[in-house]
Chains A and B, each alone.
Chain A
Amino acid sequence: MPLKPPQSPSPPPTLQVGAEQAALAASFVEESRALLEEAGDALLALERDPGDQGAINALFRAVHSIKGAAGLFDLPALVHLVHAGEDLLGAMREGRVRMDGAAADELLEGLDHVGQWIGLFQQGGALPPTAMEIARRFAGAYRLRLEQTDGPAQPAAAAGGRIRHDWAEAQVAAIRDAGGQDGPLVTVEYCPDATCFFSGEDPLHVARTLPGLVWFAIAPREDWPAAPLFDPYVCNLRIRLASCAPVEAVEEHFRYMPDAVTIGLLDEVAPSPAAAGPAAAALPPLAAELVEAQRRALAEPARAGQVDDIAATLRNLCAALGRPVPFGDAPDAEALAVAVAALLAPGPPADDAAAVVADTPGDAAPIAGPSRPDTAERTLRVEQGRIDMLMNLVGELVVAKNALPFLARDAENRFGSRELAREIKDKYAVIDRITRQMQGAVMGIRMMPVSDLFKRFPRLVRDIARKQDKRVQLVVEGETTEADKNVIEALAEPLTHILRNSLDHGIESGAARRAAGKPEVATVRLVASQEGDSVVIAVSDDGRGVDPSRVRAKAIERGLIDAERAAQLTDEQAVQLVFLPGFSTAETISDLSGRGVGMDAVRSVVERLGGEVTLRSQHGEGTTVRLRLPLSMAVTRVLTIDLAGQAYGVPMDLVVETVRADPAAIRRLKAAEAIVLRDTVIPLVRLRAMLGMEPHHPPLESVLILRLGDAMVGLVVDDFGTSMDIILKPFSGILANMSGFSGTAVLGDGRVLLVLNLKEML
């Protein structure tokens, strides 16, 4: 009862409280997410090396902070679970319990639940009724683990006779007064270790949360050093506490820092007559706070009608403190004011001063106000939607800008003004330059490091490895490599797939690895790097690699390729067969991968992003999958081509050259056509035929030479257009699944350009 926070003095408008609470909740959610992530990482590190003191401290601190923050809200289940976890971690930190795989599983699972709950809390503010049950189950599991390994010699802290703290005897009156009761009190002298901040201990929090706290004093242990020498991370605090809780509860509370505390007892004393002495005359801090609140309430003219309430509060307070009530039965406001002043008069100066400060909040604010310089934060958190809008606007600007050359042409041809045309072109050059810079800037904003993507993988690898009873270490490199947010986000699924494949099919069991003379712990490397305009992500393992003969056999069995053609393939080519749709080599379908949607899904995603996948594998030695993606998908450079009067776009990076060929130079090999160009035979494909249009035979064939993977292909079109930068908009809605085209773009003259997806078509 004593230190329960009083109802806030002069109740602030509820609206403000609500807003504050919401802001607090939002920061709690954000903070806890970060802490959970930290905890997850630390837990994984700890599992790898159970002796990692840094990791256990980080983990403990993270969990402890979550617990502390969660305590502010009505989340009993969450606190219960985290508290039990904290106990277990505390034991691990002291070396009483060892971390092992099973314990890590339980802890990770618990963290997952906490994460879920925080998500629910964010959405609806309340946890499901099952939460407490889950929390109890986990807490039970943690406690069991704790008990199994916990030695019985735990409470060795302060056996035998209780110490009597001299200071407690000296201030017995004040302590008793604050305690408001005569029962035995527990006194605690708590001198936290100088380095305690580094182990995640927050002495103030520990002290504040002491059960039954009735009195406290806090002071430096030694004089503070001169300001320049002051180190905020050397703890120099001495906290003295008195509690009305049982000794066991107090001991339990300080169980993590038995060396830092001495726990004493303040026996029952006959209420000393000192109660009337000068020390006791002062109100206990809490009571002073309450009286102060009444004083402020009285001063407010709007509360003139509530004099009775104030009188009742004061009367109760005096009764609780065992003091005479300093006013009559039906006091008026004036009499009350006198009584309040009398109550406050001998109070500690702190309260008076505080009262003045609180009394003049208008003064406090302006002091801080004008002196606040424009130190805007260095970083800005912006909703992605806004950036996307900016990006779209820049895109529109690019399109609008592209209309200017058309206008210049019109000025010259239709209106016969060369001069105007030239001027428009000049202005166009300026706008073009600015637009490019703007585009670059907006794209820069959208760049994010791949670490945001990679951070989920250590957990994934760990979970899969444990499920399969394999030992795997994941090495991540190049996390700072940046790429467009869309690229990063789109890569999550393919990379997960590749990693799963690697762990499921690539990495052998421990026994097989030993037999093959490999280290038992397999290594999976996840490496990102930037190469020119693209980002390259490589996943390599040192597993068994892909067996070309098995791939061939499987491909034939599935009818993906005929035996004759399979036999012709080199081993390297055979390995690429895994990219064919419907290919899966796993003998048994596991719940991880091998559902028949494998590498082809990866390839289609990556190609949709304008990238490419390559797979290199050495049988018996490992596999490397390389994803190569454009840094940004925002602007695509295309070559326009003309086909039956309609413009189409071909991604510029595929185009090798454009050729005008005499139809006579085209060789026919049965149904197929080919052209010999600089001693190379290049197969030809007619785009009209592919799109089901009427054949067209101009005197000179326009052939677009393209490079697709390692092969060259000649694409016969009607005519070539120009090259231009476009903002490619993928199809949406019912057109989303249309094959053959990767999207559309609006041209400067308002026409729509269809961009061909040649990788898919050819």
Chain B
Amino acid sequence: MPMRLDRACAVLEGHCTVEEAHDLAEWLVTGRAREANLAACAGLHAAVLQCLMALAPQIVARPADPALGLWLDAALPAPVPLPPEAPPQKAARAPRRRRKAAAAT
């Protein structure tokens, strides 16, 4: 399973294929305060990347693969790390703000 959708965090592992994009998008659209953990992600299909770009979940962990990390950095706004005792509201606000900013430009 390259992707696990937990309650608040999408965990992408291994090579995320085009099939995953649909589930991920659906999952990101249906709720806010979503996070994505790419620590174990070794490859992303462009469709999956698009989901991350358009729906802007908070990236809580960058891929371990540095090359892939560079691509993500190029495509995504800078990840906002959570302080250790992260109040949940803060996590909810970050993506929303970003989306608004995209609409304004």
Contact = CB atoms under 8 A, between A and B. Distances in A.
Interface of A: 3, 5-6, 8-9, 24, 27, 65, 68-69, 72, 192, 197, 202-205, 208, 216-220, 223-228, 230-233, 235-237, 285-286, 289, 348-354, 356-358, 360-361, 363-365, 367-368, 371-373, 375, 377
Given A224-B53, A353-B78, A353-B81, A202 B46 contact: yes
A6 B74 CA distance: 18
Given A65-B17, A233-B22, A6 B66 contact: yes
Which secondary structure dominates where chain B touches chain A? mixed
A192 B50 CA distance: 12
Contacts of A349: 78
A204 B71 contact: yes
A230 B54 contact: yes
A566 B8 CA distance: 78
A5 B54 CA distance: 27
A365 B103 CA distance: 32
Nearest to B65: A5
B64 to A, nearest CB: 7
A65 B65 CA distance: 19
Interface centre among A218, A232, A364, by most chain B C-beta atoms within 10 angstroms, is A232
A236 B47 CA distance: 9
Contacts of B73: 285, 348, 350-351, 354
Contacts of A72: 42
A237 B5 CA distance: 25
Interface of B: 1, 5-9, 11, 14-15, 17-18, 21-22, 24-25, 28-29, 35, 37, 39, 42-51, 53-55, 59-62, 64-67, 69-71, 73-75, 78-84, 86, 99, 102-103, 105
Contacts of B103: 223, 226
Nearest to A12: B64
A368 B74 contact: no
Given A204-B45, A230-B55, A235 B67 contact: no
A192 B46 CA distance: 10
A359 B94 CA distance: 21
A24 B79 contact: no
Closest 4 CB pairs of A and B: A204-B46, A224-B54, A232-B25, A232-B21
13 contacts: A204-B45, A218-B71, A220-B50, A224-B53, A227-B99, A228-B29, A235-B47, A350-B78, A354-B73, A357-B79, A363-B81, A367-B60, A368-B60
A197 B46 contact: yes
B98 to A, nearest CB: 10
A235 B82 contact: no
Contact of B46 (A235, A348, A375): A235
A123 to B, nearest CB: 22
A368 B35 contact: yes
A377 B6 CA distance: 12
A285 to B, nearest CB: 5
Contact of B47 (A219, A232, A368, A372): A232
Contacts of A358: 62
B61 A27 contact: no
Given A218-B75, A232-B21, A360-B81, A372 B67 contact: no
Given A230-B55, A232-B21, A358-B62, A371 B8 contact: yes
Contacts of A363: 81-84
A351 B79 CA distance: 9
A5 B43 CA distance: 14
Given A220-B54, A236-B50, A368-B9, A197 B18 contact: yes
B89 to A, nearest CB: 15
B6 A354 contact: no
A428 B94 CA distance: 65
A758 B9 CA distance: 63
A577 B43 CA distance: 61
A230 B81 contact: no
B70 A285 contact: yes
Given A68-B43, A218-B49, 20 more contacts: A3-B70, A208-B67, A224-B55, A228-B29, A230-B54, A235-B50, A236-B50, A352-B78, A357-B59, A357-B62, A357-B81, A358-B62, A363-B83, A363-B84, A365-B61, A367-B9, A367-B82, A371-B6, A371-B9, A372-B6
Contacts of A8: 64, 66
A351 B53 CA distance: 18
A375 B9 CA distance: 13
A204 B49 contact: yes
Given A197-B18, A353-B80, A364 B60 contact: yes
Contacts of A354: 62, 69, 73, 78-79
Nearest to A69: B15
Contacts of B66: 5-6, 8-9, 286, 289
B79 to A, nearest CB: 5
Contacts of A236: 50, 54
Contact of B67 (A3, A24, A350, A356): A3
A363 B86 CA distance: 10
A284 B75 CA distance: 15
A498 to B, nearest CB: 37
Given A208-B71, A371-B9, A27 B14 contact: yes
Contacts of A353: 78-81
Contact of A357 (B15, B45, B61, B86): B61
Given A218-B75, A357-B62, A375 B6 contact: yes
Which of B15, B17, B25, B70: most chain A CB closer than 10 A?
A: B70
A634 B15 CA distance: 41
Contact of B55 (A204, A208, A227): A227
Nearest to B44: A204
B69 A289 contact: yes
Nearest to A196: B46
B46 A237 contact: yes
- Looking at A192, A361, A371, the one whose CB has the most chain B CB atoms below 10 A away is A371
A182 to B, nearest CB: 23
